[in-house]
Amino acid sequence: MKTLDLTPTELNNHIKTFCPPAEHWQRIDVGDIETYVGDGQCVITLIDYKPTSVKELEKNCRKAEETVTRYLQDEGFIGKNYLYLGLQQFDLTKPPFEL
């Protein structure tokens, strides 16, 4: 699996339109899901799996969000209020939907 290992500045630049810039970013691997938590309030997951159908895309994104948020809450990384952003990777030669 290829990981990005983003710096805090790079993360803030990529997501500044979604949530306020965080002072402290922490990378947490939840199983094989690369996850970043900013100030305990912003969660970003990088979903490496490439779906082949829209149904598979929906199922995979829902499962990733449930798994990541449950783990992060159980371990005290986030509370009840947080912003979740899942970034899904696609195979552009075989997208899961019609272009």
Convert the pLDDT of each residue in 1-27 to its tens digit. Answer: 455 667 777 766 776 767 777 889 899
pLDDT tens digit sequence for 31-42: 989 999 999 999
Reduced to 3 DSSP states, what percent helix, strand and coil does the chain have, rounded to the nearest 5? 30, 25, 45
pTM: 0.76
For residue 23, CA distances in Å to 39, 42, 59, 84, 86 come to: 6, 11, 32, 17, 20
